[in-house]
Amino acid sequence: MSETESPRYRGGLATGVGSWPGTDPREAAATVIGELGELPHLVELPGRGTGSDMLGRSSALLVDLRFDTTTRGYRLAARPGSTSRRAYDLLRTDLDALEEAWETAGLSGSHHTVKVQAAGPLTLAAQVELTGGHRILTDSGAVRDLSESLAEGLARHVAEVGRRLGANVVVQLDEPSLTDVLNGSLRGTSMLDTVRALPAPEAVHILDAVITAQSAPVLVHSCAAAPALGFLRGTAAAAIGFDLATIGTADLDEIGELLDAGKLLALGLIPTTAPAAPPTWQTIAEPAVRLIDRLGFPRRTLAEKVLVTPACGLSGASLGWARRALALATDVAHAFAEEPEALTFD
């Protein structure tokens, strides 16, 4: 990408979703840059404990808000404490490791592209508690404050990463709780305390407030068993990511409508843990090729509109499988980019 081009998502690339096994940020950064040369990402290492998982990482990005912990997870805190300091320190460590690996790979100032991730505002509101124990989602004012804080903090984060690496930056928002938020299937503080379903227009407004505040294009990813594809089509996201194994016949029209709307698809094709039978890139690629054929789109769609990813984060995988998963994703993306029309399967 030239210095004058704006960062963007494009098809025919492989990238990771976010989390990575182990606790060594330098090893993780070097591996991801080595395996995902065109679109590496700043990994999360939840194996390090509090502050290092998806929610904890996002707390380090917030402006004028901070998290504490409870026996159930994270909650808003009245003042900075050990949890918020730890999350911030871990993010600094990970950025230092990424910058070191970036320089070692000779990428500094090259305007290559790197991806950063954060939990989306709806998932944060669903999974983090207010000081009184209720989910943030139950308080519309708190949700607004959280969304504004995330929007500003994420924009600052993108600017810092771009400056430190001399790179273009793209963003991923993780929304694994999105379907539950829209369906009203989240439990409250007791069996009798329910959390209302958030109306779709209100949810779009909250999510888009974060997306549109970014100078970088945004991919919204959901590992939900039933990703809310119709809802995501109406957002400002440039790309939509999901686990292809969760998709059924009833979802095909919505996937076609995503493509018609100009969205890119980040298809989760590679299992997050090693399957019993070692897969080849051809067996990994086949479901995506058959999907595009079934939808009636030309095979060039695979090169122009499809990114290849693992199904979700890889923190639960062995290090060996995590490396293999990224290598498979890269092989599949290259096949899609080069000659998708020539791909055949038995």
pLDDT, tens digit, for every residue of 296-330?
999 999 999 999 999 999 999 999 999 999 999 99
pLDDT at residue 192 in the model: 67
How far apart, in whole angstroms, are the C-alpha atoms of residue 168 and residue 329? Answer: 21
Give first-to-last CA distance, the chain, whole Å.
37
**What does the pLDDT look like over 115-151, one tens digit per residue?**
999 999 999 999 999 999 999 999 999 999 999 999 9
Query: Going by CATH, does the domain composed of 25-342 fall within 3.20.20.210?
Result: yes
DSSP for 49-103 reads -TTSSHHHHHHTT-SS--EEEETTEEEE-SS--HHHHHHHHHHHHHHHHHHHHHH
Percent of the chain exceeding pLDDT 70 equals 98
Element (H, E) at 219: strand 218-222
**What does the pLDDT look like over 158-167, one tens digit per residue?**
999 999 999 9
pLDDT at residue 43 in the model: 97
**What does the pLDDT look like over 208-225, one tens digit per residue?**
999 999 999 999 999 888
Hey, where are the domains in the chain? 25-342
> What crossing angle do the helices spanning 252-260 and 281-295 adopt, rounded to 10°?
80
Give me Rg for the CA atoms of the chain.
Answer: 19
How far apart, in whole angstroms, are the C-alpha atoms of residue 122 and residue 211? Answer: 12
pLDDT at residue 147 in the model: 98
Planar angle of CA 59, 65, 68, nearest 5 degrees: 60
- Beta bridge partners of residue 261, listed in sequence order: none
Q: How confident is the model at residue 342 (pLDDT cuts 50, 70, 90)?
A: confident
Q: How many CA atoms lie within 13 A of 249 on its CB side?
A: 0
Is 165 in contact with 110 (CB distance < 8 Å)?
no
pLDDT at residue 111 in the model: 82
Give the mean pLDDT of 46-75: 96
Q: Is 192 exposed, middle or buried (0-12, 13-18, 19+ CB in 10 A)?
A: exposed
